[in-house]
Structure 1
Amino acid sequence: MPRYFIEVSYKGTNYSGFQIQHNANSIQMEVEKALEIFYKQKFELTGSSRTDAGVHALQNFFHFDTELIIDDDAYNLNAILPDDIVIKRIFNVNENAHCRFDAVSREYHYYLYNHKSPFLQGRAYYFPYSLDIELLQQAAKEILGHTDFTSFSKRNTQVKSFLCRIYTSEWIQETDCLIYKIKANRFLRGMVKGLVGTMLHTGRKKITIDEFRAIIEEKDCTKTDFSVPPDGLYLYEVRFQKFDQVL
Protein backbone atom coordinates (compact mmCIF):
# COMPACT_ATOMS: atom_id res chain seq x y z
CA MET A 1 0.00 0.00 0.00
CA PRO A 2 1.37 3.50 -0.82
CA ARG A 3 2.92 5.35 2.12
CA TYR A 4 3.08 9.10 2.67
CA PHE A 5 5.09 11.34 4.98
CA ILE A 6 3.62 14.51 6.49
CA GLU A 7 6.05 17.22 7.60
CA VAL A 8 4.59 19.38 10.36
CA SER A 9 5.53 22.41 12.44
CA TYR A 10 3.70 23.52 15.56
CA LYS A 11 3.58 25.63 18.70
CA GLY A 12 2.92 23.13 21.48
CA THR A 13 1.62 25.49 24.18
CA ASN A 14 -2.02 24.43 23.89
CA TYR A 15 -1.40 20.68 23.52
CA SER A 16 -0.73 17.76 25.84
CA GLY A 17 1.99 16.53 23.50
CA PHE A 18 2.64 15.17 20.03
CA GLN A 19 1.17 11.69 20.33
CA ILE A 20 -2.55 11.00 20.59
CA GLN A 21 -3.81 10.58 24.18
CA HIS A 22 -7.07 9.78 25.90
CA ASN A 23 -9.00 12.78 27.26
CA ALA A 24 -6.38 15.30 26.10
CA ASN A 25 -5.76 17.24 22.91
CA SER A 26 -2.61 16.51 20.92
CA ILE A 27 -0.90 17.42 17.64
CA GLN A 28 -1.68 13.97 16.24
CA MET A 29 -5.37 14.26 17.11
CA GLU A 30 -5.70 17.60 15.31
CA VAL A 31 -3.88 16.37 12.19
CA GLU A 32 -5.94 13.15 12.04
CA LYS A 33 -9.12 15.21 12.42
CA ALA A 34 -8.12 17.52 9.54
CA LEU A 35 -7.25 14.57 7.29
CA GLU A 36 -10.61 12.93 8.00
CA ILE A 37 -12.52 16.14 7.24
CA PHE A 38 -10.70 16.74 3.95
CA TYR A 39 -10.40 13.17 2.61
CA LYS A 40 -13.67 11.87 4.11
CA GLN A 41 -12.04 8.84 5.74
CA LYS A 42 -10.09 8.02 8.88
CA PHE A 43 -6.29 7.80 8.93
CA GLU A 44 -4.00 6.20 11.48
CA LEU A 45 -0.82 8.22 11.82
CA THR A 46 2.59 7.04 13.04
CA GLY A 47 4.74 9.77 14.60
CA SER A 48 8.47 10.33 14.23
CA SER A 49 9.55 12.05 17.45
CA ARG A 50 7.31 12.42 20.48
CA THR A 51 7.35 15.83 22.10
CA ASP A 52 5.92 16.43 25.56
CA ALA A 53 3.21 18.85 26.62
CA GLY A 54 4.00 22.44 25.69
CA VAL A 55 7.05 21.60 23.55
CA HIS A 56 7.25 23.15 20.08
CA ALA A 57 8.60 21.79 16.79
CA LEU A 58 10.01 23.48 13.72
CA GLN A 59 10.08 20.08 12.03
CA ASN A 60 8.45 16.77 12.86
CA PHE A 61 6.89 13.97 10.82
CA PHE A 62 4.02 11.51 10.58
CA HIS A 63 3.49 8.73 8.11
CA PHE A 64 0.35 6.94 6.97
CA ASP A 65 -0.76 4.39 4.38
CA THR A 66 -3.64 4.82 1.95
CA GLU A 67 -4.86 3.69 -1.45
CA LEU A 68 -5.99 7.24 -2.16
CA ILE A 69 -3.93 9.30 -4.58
CA ILE A 70 -2.66 12.07 -2.31
CA ASP A 71 -1.47 15.35 -3.78
CA ASP A 72 0.44 17.84 -1.66
CA ASP A 73 -2.77 19.22 -0.15
CA ALA A 74 -1.02 21.18 2.59
CA TYR A 75 -2.80 24.44 1.72
CA ASN A 76 -6.28 22.93 2.09
CA LEU A 77 -5.43 21.00 5.25
CA ASN A 78 -3.89 24.09 6.86
CA ALA A 79 -7.19 25.90 6.32
CA ILE A 80 -8.79 23.24 8.57
CA LEU A 81 -6.06 22.99 11.20
CA PRO A 82 -5.71 25.38 14.17
CA ASP A 83 -3.39 28.33 13.59
CA ASP A 84 -0.68 26.83 15.83
CA ILE A 85 -0.22 23.69 13.66
CA VAL A 86 1.10 23.82 10.09
CA ILE A 87 1.52 21.03 7.55
CA LYS A 88 4.55 21.93 5.45
CA ARG A 89 4.15 19.17 2.87
CA ILE A 90 2.84 15.66 2.17
CA PHE A 91 4.86 13.38 -0.08
CA ASN A 92 4.99 9.79 -1.25
CA VAL A 93 7.82 7.54 0.03
CA ASN A 94 8.84 3.91 -0.33
CA GLU A 95 6.29 1.63 1.35
CA ASN A 96 8.99 0.43 3.79
CA ALA A 97 9.99 3.94 4.89
CA HIS A 98 9.31 4.60 8.58
CA CYS A 99 9.32 8.13 9.98
CA ARG A 100 10.43 6.96 13.43
CA PHE A 101 12.80 4.06 12.86
CA ASP A 102 14.49 5.50 9.76
CA ALA A 103 15.41 8.79 11.44
CA VAL A 104 19.18 8.90 11.98
CA SER A 105 19.25 12.01 14.18
CA ARG A 106 17.11 14.54 15.98
CA GLU A 107 18.16 18.04 16.99
CA TYR A 108 16.63 20.09 19.80
CA HIS A 109 17.17 23.74 20.69
CA TYR A 110 16.36 25.29 24.06
CA TYR A 111 15.94 29.09 24.22
CA LEU A 112 16.49 31.32 27.26
CA TYR A 113 16.33 35.09 27.64
CA ASN A 114 17.27 37.24 30.64
CA HIS A 115 15.52 40.54 29.90
CA LYS A 116 11.76 40.68 30.13
CA SER A 117 10.19 40.60 26.67
CA PRO A 118 6.51 40.31 25.69
CA PHE A 119 7.61 38.94 22.31
CA LEU A 120 9.48 35.98 23.76
CA GLN A 121 6.99 35.03 26.46
CA GLY A 122 5.71 31.52 25.82
CA ARG A 123 8.38 30.89 23.19
CA ALA A 124 11.47 30.92 25.43
CA TYR A 125 12.37 30.58 29.13
CA TYR A 126 12.68 33.84 31.03
CA PHE A 127 15.74 33.30 33.23
CA PRO A 128 16.81 36.64 34.79
CA TYR A 129 20.00 35.41 36.45
CA SER A 130 23.68 35.84 35.70
CA LEU A 131 25.32 32.84 34.02
CA ASP A 132 28.93 31.90 33.47
CA ILE A 133 28.88 31.01 29.76
CA GLU A 134 32.27 29.33 29.91
CA LEU A 135 31.04 26.93 32.59
CA LEU A 136 27.92 26.20 30.53
CA GLN A 137 30.13 25.37 27.54
CA GLN A 138 32.28 23.08 29.67
CA ALA A 139 29.16 21.24 30.84
CA ALA A 140 27.89 20.95 27.26
CA LYS A 141 31.26 19.55 26.16
CA GLU A 142 31.19 17.06 29.04
CA ILE A 143 27.95 15.62 27.66
CA LEU A 144 29.74 14.66 24.42
CA GLY A 145 31.91 12.21 26.36
CA HIS A 146 29.01 10.07 27.62
CA THR A 147 26.51 7.62 26.15
CA ASP A 148 24.45 6.48 29.17
CA PHE A 149 21.87 9.14 30.10
CA THR A 150 19.86 7.23 32.70
CA SER A 151 20.18 10.26 35.01
CA PHE A 152 18.35 12.42 32.47
CA SER A 153 15.39 10.17 31.79
CA LYS A 154 12.20 10.72 33.76
CA ARG A 155 10.72 7.76 35.58
CA ASN A 156 7.81 5.70 34.23
CA THR A 157 9.38 5.32 30.82
CA GLN A 158 9.09 2.14 28.75
CA VAL A 159 12.46 2.31 27.00
CA LYS A 160 14.81 -0.67 27.31
CA SER A 161 18.02 1.30 26.77
CA PHE A 162 19.27 4.63 28.09
CA LEU A 163 22.15 4.84 25.60
CA CYS A 164 22.28 7.84 23.27
CA ARG A 165 24.94 8.97 20.81
CA ILE A 166 25.42 12.72 21.13
CA TYR A 167 26.70 14.45 17.97
CA THR A 168 26.39 18.12 18.98
CA SER A 169 26.17 19.80 22.39
CA GLU A 170 26.82 23.52 22.66
CA TRP A 171 25.55 26.88 23.91
CA ILE A 172 25.37 29.86 21.55
CA GLN A 173 24.21 33.46 21.86
CA GLU A 174 21.82 34.73 19.18
CA THR A 175 20.42 38.25 19.46
CA ASP A 176 18.22 38.24 22.60
CA CYS A 177 18.46 34.52 23.37
CA LEU A 178 20.96 32.09 24.81
CA ILE A 179 20.39 28.79 23.02
CA TYR A 180 21.40 25.25 23.90
CA LYS A 181 21.74 23.02 20.84
CA ILE A 182 21.89 19.25 21.08
CA LYS A 183 21.81 16.65 18.31
CA ALA A 184 21.69 12.89 18.93
CA ASN A 185 20.50 9.64 17.43
CA ARG A 186 17.71 9.46 20.03
CA PHE A 187 16.43 11.19 23.17
CA LEU A 188 14.91 9.97 26.40
CA ARG A 189 11.77 11.30 28.07
CA GLY A 190 12.56 14.69 29.62
CA MET A 191 16.22 14.40 28.61
CA VAL A 192 16.78 17.85 27.09
CA LYS A 193 14.95 19.66 29.89
CA GLY A 194 16.97 17.67 32.44
CA LEU A 195 20.26 18.52 30.76
CA VAL A 196 19.39 22.21 30.48
CA GLY A 197 18.07 22.49 34.03
CA THR A 198 21.13 20.81 35.50
CA MET A 199 23.61 22.72 33.35
CA LEU A 200 22.06 25.97 34.53
CA HIS A 201 23.20 25.01 38.03
CA THR A 202 26.78 24.89 36.71
CA GLY A 203 26.29 28.24 34.97
CA ARG A 204 25.15 29.76 38.27
CA LYS A 205 28.04 28.05 40.10
CA LYS A 206 25.71 26.05 42.32
CA ILE A 207 27.48 22.85 41.25
CA THR A 208 30.92 22.27 39.74
CA ILE A 209 31.72 20.55 36.45
CA ASP A 210 32.98 17.57 38.47
CA GLU A 211 29.64 17.42 40.27
CA PHE A 212 27.81 17.66 36.95
CA ARG A 213 29.89 14.76 35.63
CA ALA A 214 29.07 12.77 38.76
CA ILE A 215 25.33 13.31 38.18
CA ILE A 216 25.70 11.79 34.71
CA GLU A 217 27.75 8.85 35.99
CA GLU A 218 25.53 8.06 39.01
CA LYS A 219 22.60 7.13 36.74
CA ASP A 220 20.15 8.54 39.28
CA CYS A 221 17.41 10.82 37.94
CA THR A 222 16.65 12.21 41.42
CA LYS A 223 19.86 14.28 41.15
CA THR A 224 18.69 15.95 37.91
CA ASP A 225 16.73 19.20 37.64
CA PHE A 226 13.84 18.72 35.18
CA SER A 227 12.03 21.87 36.27
CA VAL A 228 12.73 24.16 33.30
CA PRO A 229 9.48 24.90 31.43
CA PRO A 230 8.65 23.54 27.97
CA ASP A 231 8.25 27.08 26.58
CA GLY A 232 11.84 27.24 25.35
CA LEU A 233 12.14 23.72 23.94
CA TYR A 234 11.94 23.10 20.19
CA LEU A 235 12.39 19.99 18.12
CA TYR A 236 14.48 21.70 15.46
CA GLU A 237 15.21 19.00 12.88
CA VAL A 238 14.72 15.31 12.13
CA ARG A 239 17.19 13.80 9.65
CA PHE A 240 16.63 10.79 7.41
CA GLN A 241 19.88 9.81 5.71
CA LYS A 242 18.07 7.28 3.52
CA PHE A 243 15.75 9.91 2.13
CA ASP A 244 18.06 12.92 1.80
CA GLN A 245 16.98 13.28 -1.82
CA VAL A 246 13.34 13.94 -0.79
CA LEU A 247 13.67 15.33 2.72
Structure 2
Amino acid sequence: MQHIKRFFLELAYNGTSFHGWQSQPNAVAVQEVLEQALQKVFRRKVETLGCGRTDTGVHASQFFAHFDLPADLNFLAEKFLKSVNALLPTSIAVYRVIPVHADAHARFDATQRSYEYHIHYQKNPFKHHLSWQITGGLNLEAMQDAASIIKNYNDFGAFCKANADNFTNICNIYRSEWEETADGLIYHISANRFLRNMVRAIVGTLVDVGRGKLGAKDMHGIIQSQNRSAAGASVPACGLFLTQIHYPYI
Protein backbone atom coordinates (compact mmCIF):
# COMPACT_ATOMS: atom_id res chain seq x y z
CA MET A 1 0.00 0.00 0.00
CA GLN A 2 1.39 3.36 -1.05
CA HIS A 3 1.94 5.85 1.76
CA ILE A 4 0.57 9.31 1.19
CA LYS A 5 0.93 12.78 2.62
CA ARG A 6 -2.04 15.11 2.92
CA PHE A 7 -1.87 18.86 2.38
CA PHE A 8 -4.26 21.76 2.80
CA LEU A 9 -4.25 24.59 0.30
CA GLU A 10 -5.38 28.05 1.38
CA LEU A 11 -6.70 29.99 -1.59
CA ALA A 12 -8.98 32.82 -2.65
CA TYR A 13 -11.01 33.42 -5.78
CA ASN A 14 -13.20 35.91 -7.56
CA GLY A 15 -16.20 33.79 -8.48
CA THR A 16 -17.61 36.04 -11.20
CA SER A 17 -16.52 33.85 -14.12
CA PHE A 18 -16.96 30.49 -12.38
CA HIS A 19 -19.91 28.19 -11.83
CA GLY A 20 -19.03 27.82 -8.18
CA TRP A 21 -16.28 25.78 -6.54
CA GLN A 22 -17.27 22.23 -7.42
CA SER A 23 -16.38 20.69 -10.78
CA GLN A 24 -19.36 19.94 -13.00
CA PRO A 25 -20.06 18.93 -16.59
CA ASN A 26 -20.32 21.67 -19.24
CA ALA A 27 -19.34 24.52 -16.88
CA VAL A 28 -16.05 25.95 -15.63
CA ALA A 29 -15.60 25.69 -11.86
CA VAL A 30 -12.77 26.73 -9.55
CA GLN A 31 -11.98 23.14 -8.54
CA GLU A 32 -11.46 22.06 -12.14
CA VAL A 33 -9.08 24.94 -12.91
CA LEU A 34 -7.11 24.37 -9.70
CA GLU A 35 -6.73 20.63 -10.31
CA GLN A 36 -5.49 21.27 -13.85
CA ALA A 37 -2.78 23.56 -12.46
CA LEU A 38 -1.82 21.05 -9.76
CA GLN A 39 -1.56 18.28 -12.34
CA LYS A 40 0.90 20.34 -14.37
CA VAL A 41 3.01 21.19 -11.31
CA PHE A 42 3.22 17.61 -9.97
CA ARG A 43 2.96 15.84 -13.36
CA ARG A 44 0.29 13.51 -12.04
CA LYS A 45 -3.48 13.61 -11.48
CA VAL A 46 -4.32 15.48 -8.27
CA GLU A 47 -7.82 15.45 -6.79
CA THR A 48 -8.91 18.10 -4.31
CA LEU A 49 -11.74 18.28 -1.81
CA GLY A 50 -12.98 21.71 -0.76
CA CYS A 51 -14.17 23.06 2.58
CA GLY A 52 -17.61 23.59 1.05
CA ARG A 53 -19.44 24.58 -2.10
CA THR A 54 -20.03 28.08 -3.35
CA ASP A 55 -22.68 28.91 -5.94
CA THR A 56 -22.11 30.48 -9.34
CA GLY A 57 -20.75 34.02 -8.98
CA VAL A 58 -19.99 33.73 -5.23
CA HIS A 59 -16.50 34.74 -4.08
CA ALA A 60 -14.10 33.42 -1.44
CA SER A 61 -11.44 35.53 0.26
CA GLN A 62 -10.47 32.43 2.22
CA PHE A 63 -11.06 28.85 1.09
CA PHE A 64 -9.36 25.57 1.95
CA ALA A 65 -9.03 22.36 -0.02
CA HIS A 66 -7.07 19.21 0.72
CA PHE A 67 -5.18 16.88 -1.60
CA ASP A 68 -2.87 13.87 -1.29
CA LEU A 69 0.56 13.12 -2.72
CA PRO A 70 2.84 10.09 -2.45
CA ALA A 71 4.93 10.33 0.72
CA ASP A 72 8.17 10.12 -1.26
CA LEU A 73 7.29 13.09 -3.49
CA ASN A 74 9.08 16.07 -1.97
CA PHE A 75 8.72 19.70 -2.97
CA LEU A 76 9.55 23.16 -1.66
CA ALA A 77 6.49 25.16 -0.60
CA GLU A 78 7.87 28.47 -1.89
CA LYS A 79 8.67 27.02 -5.31
CA PHE A 80 5.31 25.25 -5.46
CA LEU A 81 3.35 28.43 -4.68
CA LYS A 82 5.22 30.35 -7.36
CA SER A 83 4.62 27.62 -9.94
CA VAL A 84 0.95 27.01 -9.25
CA ASN A 85 0.08 30.71 -9.14
CA ALA A 86 1.83 31.23 -12.47
CA LEU A 87 -0.50 28.63 -13.99
CA LEU A 88 -3.71 29.91 -12.42
CA PRO A 89 -5.78 32.79 -13.82
CA THR A 90 -5.72 36.13 -12.01
CA SER A 91 -9.11 35.26 -10.49
CA ILE A 92 -7.58 32.48 -8.33
CA ALA A 93 -4.66 32.79 -5.90
CA VAL A 94 -3.07 30.13 -3.69
CA TYR A 95 -1.54 31.53 -0.49
CA ARG A 96 -0.34 28.56 1.54
CA VAL A 97 0.29 24.83 1.31
CA ILE A 98 0.08 23.22 4.75
CA PRO A 99 1.12 19.66 5.66
CA VAL A 100 -1.60 18.07 7.82
CA HIS A 101 -2.25 14.65 9.34
CA ALA A 102 -3.46 11.91 7.01
CA ASP A 103 -7.06 12.02 8.26
CA ALA A 104 -7.44 15.82 8.10
CA HIS A 105 -10.54 16.82 6.14
CA ALA A 106 -11.08 20.25 4.62
CA ARG A 107 -14.86 20.01 4.83
CA PHE A 108 -15.70 17.94 7.90
CA ASP A 109 -13.00 19.32 10.22
CA ALA A 110 -14.03 22.97 9.80
CA THR A 111 -15.54 24.19 13.08
CA GLN A 112 -16.71 27.62 11.95
CA ARG A 113 -17.38 29.42 8.69
CA SER A 114 -17.94 33.12 8.10
CA TYR A 115 -19.57 34.99 5.23
CA GLU A 116 -20.02 38.64 4.29
CA TYR A 117 -22.65 40.13 2.02
CA HIS A 118 -21.84 43.52 0.47
CA ILE A 119 -24.42 46.14 -0.50
CA HIS A 120 -23.73 49.58 -2.01
CA TYR A 121 -26.06 52.45 -2.85
CA GLN A 122 -24.33 54.51 -5.53
CA LYS A 123 -23.39 53.16 -8.94
CA ASN A 124 -19.72 52.21 -8.78
CA PRO A 125 -17.82 50.54 -11.63
CA PHE A 126 -15.23 49.20 -9.17
CA LYS A 127 -17.87 47.28 -7.20
CA HIS A 128 -19.55 45.71 -10.22
CA HIS A 129 -19.77 41.91 -9.66
CA LEU A 130 -18.41 42.39 -6.09
CA SER A 131 -21.39 44.02 -4.38
CA TRP A 132 -25.16 44.42 -4.89
CA GLN A 133 -26.38 47.91 -5.71
CA ILE A 134 -29.60 48.91 -3.98
CA THR A 135 -31.42 52.15 -4.73
CA GLY A 136 -33.44 53.78 -2.01
CA GLY A 137 -32.87 53.85 1.71
CA LEU A 138 -32.92 50.94 4.13
CA ASN A 139 -33.93 51.01 7.80
CA LEU A 140 -30.66 49.81 9.32
CA GLU A 141 -31.98 49.72 12.89
CA ALA A 142 -34.80 47.37 11.91
CA MET A 143 -32.41 45.19 9.90
CA GLN A 144 -30.04 45.00 12.87
CA ASP A 145 -32.89 43.95 15.16
CA ALA A 146 -33.98 41.27 12.71
CA ALA A 147 -30.40 40.04 12.29
CA SER A 148 -30.00 39.62 16.04
CA ILE A 149 -33.14 37.46 16.23
CA ILE A 150 -31.47 34.88 13.99
CA LYS A 151 -29.00 33.99 16.76
CA ASN A 152 -31.90 32.74 18.92
CA TYR A 153 -32.66 29.85 16.56
CA ASN A 154 -30.86 26.87 15.08
CA ASP A 155 -33.33 25.34 12.57
CA PHE A 156 -33.09 27.26 9.30
CA GLY A 157 -35.29 25.30 6.94
CA ALA A 158 -37.02 28.58 6.01
CA PHE A 159 -33.79 29.74 4.35
CA CYS A 160 -32.80 26.50 2.66
CA LYS A 161 -32.99 25.98 -1.07
CA ALA A 162 -35.80 23.58 -1.99
CA ASN A 163 -34.72 19.96 -2.60
CA ALA A 164 -31.24 20.67 -1.23
CA ASP A 165 -31.17 17.20 0.37
CA ASN A 166 -29.58 18.30 3.66
CA PHE A 167 -29.29 15.66 6.38
CA THR A 168 -30.30 18.38 8.87
CA ASN A 169 -31.31 22.04 8.86
CA ILE A 170 -29.67 22.66 12.23
CA CYS A 171 -26.96 25.35 12.26
CA ASN A 172 -25.39 27.11 15.24
CA ILE A 173 -25.14 30.85 14.52
CA TYR A 174 -22.35 32.70 16.33
CA ARG A 175 -22.59 36.10 14.63
CA SER A 176 -25.33 37.90 12.71
CA GLU A 177 -25.00 41.66 12.33
CA TRP A 178 -24.77 44.55 9.90
CA GLU A 179 -21.82 46.91 9.48
CA GLU A 180 -22.38 50.36 8.00
CA THR A 181 -19.81 51.52 5.43
CA ALA A 182 -19.21 54.82 3.63
CA ASP A 183 -21.47 53.81 0.75
CA GLY A 184 -23.50 50.86 1.93
CA LEU A 185 -23.67 47.90 4.28
CA ILE A 186 -21.92 44.62 4.99
CA TYR A 187 -23.77 41.75 6.60
CA HIS A 188 -21.60 39.45 8.74
CA ILE A 189 -22.67 35.93 9.65
CA SER A 190 -20.71 33.07 11.22
CA ALA A 191 -21.85 29.53 12.00
CA ASN A 192 -20.61 25.99 12.38
CA ARG A 193 -22.28 25.13 9.06
CA PHE A 194 -24.59 26.64 6.44
CA LEU A 195 -27.37 25.28 4.27
CA ARG A 196 -27.34 25.73 0.53
CA ASN A 197 -28.37 29.28 -0.44
CA MET A 198 -28.97 30.08 3.25
CA VAL A 199 -27.02 33.34 3.50
CA ARG A 200 -28.52 34.85 0.35
CA ALA A 201 -32.03 33.96 1.55
CA ILE A 202 -31.37 35.49 4.97
CA VAL A 203 -30.02 38.69 3.44
CA GLY A 204 -33.03 38.91 1.11
CA THR A 205 -35.35 38.64 4.10
CA LEU A 206 -33.39 41.24 6.08
CA VAL A 207 -33.51 43.63 3.13
CA ASP A 208 -37.30 43.20 3.04
CA VAL A 209 -37.26 44.31 6.68
CA GLY A 210 -35.10 47.29 5.74
CA ARG A 211 -37.54 48.25 2.99
CA GLY A 212 -40.51 48.04 5.35
CA LYS A 213 -42.07 45.01 3.67
CA LEU A 214 -41.60 43.05 6.89
CA GLY A 215 -41.21 43.99 10.53
CA ALA A 216 -38.14 42.90 12.47
CA LYS A 217 -40.25 40.68 14.72
CA ASP A 218 -41.66 38.89 11.67
CA MET A 219 -38.34 37.05 11.60
CA HIS A 220 -39.57 34.85 14.47
CA GLY A 221 -42.56 33.57 12.49
CA ILE A 222 -40.54 33.11 9.31
CA ILE A 223 -37.91 30.96 11.03
CA GLN A 224 -40.48 28.98 13.00
CA SER A 225 -42.45 28.24 9.82
CA GLN A 226 -39.52 26.29 8.33
CA ASN A 227 -41.09 27.23 5.00
CA ARG A 228 -38.86 28.70 2.30
CA SER A 229 -41.77 30.57 0.71
CA ALA A 230 -42.27 32.53 3.95
CA ALA A 231 -38.83 34.14 3.67
CA GLY A 232 -37.59 36.75 1.23
CA ALA A 233 -36.10 36.18 -2.21
CA SER A 234 -32.44 35.24 -2.51
CA VAL A 235 -30.20 38.21 -3.23
CA PRO A 236 -27.75 38.20 -6.18
CA ALA A 237 -24.60 36.08 -5.79
CA CYS A 238 -22.23 38.94 -6.64
CA GLY A 239 -22.22 40.42 -3.12
CA LEU A 240 -21.47 37.18 -1.24
CA PHE A 241 -18.01 36.29 0.07
CA LEU A 242 -16.85 33.28 2.05
CA THR A 243 -14.35 35.04 4.29
CA GLN A 244 -13.04 32.71 6.99
CA ILE A 245 -12.77 29.02 7.85
CA HIS A 246 -11.63 27.79 11.26
CA TYR A 247 -9.86 24.48 11.98
CA PRO A 248 -8.63 23.23 15.35
CA TYR A 249 -5.17 22.47 13.97
CA ILE A 250 -4.43 25.46 11.68
Task: Please indicate the TM-score interval, normalised by the length of the shorter structure.
Answer: over 0.9
Q: For residues 44-87 of structure 1, what are the alpha-carbon distances to aligned partners after superposition, in whole Å with 9 as ceiling and x for unaligned?
A: 11111211110000000110111122432112111101110111
Q: How do residues 87-106 of structure 1 correspond to structure 2 at under 5 angstroms? A: 87-106=94-113
Q: For residues 18-68 of structure 1, what are the alpha-carbon distances to aligned partners after superposition, in whole Å with 9 as ceiling and x for unaligned?
A: 111111110100000000111111011111121111000000011011112
Q: How do residues 53-202 of structure 1 correspond to structure 2 at under 5 angstroms? A: 53-67=56-70, 68-72=73-77, 73-202=80-209
Q: Please say if residues 2 and 92 of structure 1, whose CA atoms lie closer than 8 Å, have aligned partners that are also in contact.
A: yes
Give the AA of the match of 1:209. Answer: A
Q: Please say if residues 197 and 234 of structure 2, whose CA atoms lie closer than 8 Å, have aligned partners that are also in contact.
A: no
Q: Please say if residues 197 and 225 of structure 1, whose CA atoms lie closer than 8 Å, have aligned partners that are also in contact.
A: yes
Give the AA of the match of 2:211. Answer: R
The correspondence for 1:218, drawn from 219, 225, 230, is 225
Q: Please say if residues 157 and 226 of structure 2, whose CA atoms lie closer than 8 Å, have aligned partners that are also in contact.
A: yes
What is the distance in 2 between the residues matched to 1:86 and 1:216?
37
What is the distance in 1 between the residues matched to 2:220 and 2:230?
11
What is the distance in 1 between the residues matched to 2:235 and 2:134?
10
Q: Please say if residues 71 and 91 of structure 1, whose CA atoms lie closer than 8 Å, have aligned partners that are also in contact.
A: no
What is the distance in 2 between the residues matched to 1:140 and 1:79?
42
What residue number does 2:245 align with? 238
Q: How do residues 26-41 of structure 1 correspond to structure 2 at under 5 angstroms? A: 26-41=29-44
The correspondence for 1:46, drawn from 49, 67, 74, is 49
Q: For residues 116-170 of structure 1, what are the alpha-carbon distances to aligned partners after superposition, in whole Å with 9 as ceiling and x for unaligned?
A: 1111111100011211110010011000000000000001212110000000000
SS of corresponding position for 1:209: coil
What TM-score comes out, normalization by structure 1 length? 0.96
1:102 positional shift: 0.8
Q: Please say if residues 146 and 217 of structure 2, whose CA atoms lie closer than 8 Å, have aligned partners that are also in contact.
A: no
SS of corresponding position for 2:217: helix
SS of corresponding position for 1:183: strand
What residue number does 2:11 align with? 8
SS of corresponding position for 1:135: helix
5+ residue gaps, structure 1 = none
5+ residue gaps, structure 2 = none
What is the distance in 1 between the residues matched to 2:75 and 2:21?
23
SS of corresponding position for 1:188: coil
What residue number does 1:228 align with? 235
What is the distance in 2 between the residues matched to 1:134 and 1:225?
18
Give the AA of the match of 1:239. Answer: H
Q: Please say if residues 44 and 64 of structure 1, whose CA atoms lie closer than 8 Å, have aligned partners that are also in contact.
A: yes
Q: For residues 91-133 of structure 1, what are the alpha-carbon distances to aligned partners after superposition, in whole Å with 9 as ceiling and x for unaligned?
A: 2111111111110000000000011111111110001121111
Q: Please say if residues 108 and 182 of structure 1, whose CA atoms lie closer than 8 Å, have aligned partners that are also in contact.
A: yes
TM superposition outliers: structure 1 runs of 4+ over 3 Å: none
Q: For residues 162-194 of structure 1, what are the alpha-carbon distances to aligned partners after superposition, in whole Å with 9 as ceiling and x for unaligned?
A: 000000000001333300000000000000000
1:227 positional shift: 3.1
CA shift in 2, pair 1:177/1:69, >3 Å: farther
Give the AA of the match of 1:165. Answer: N
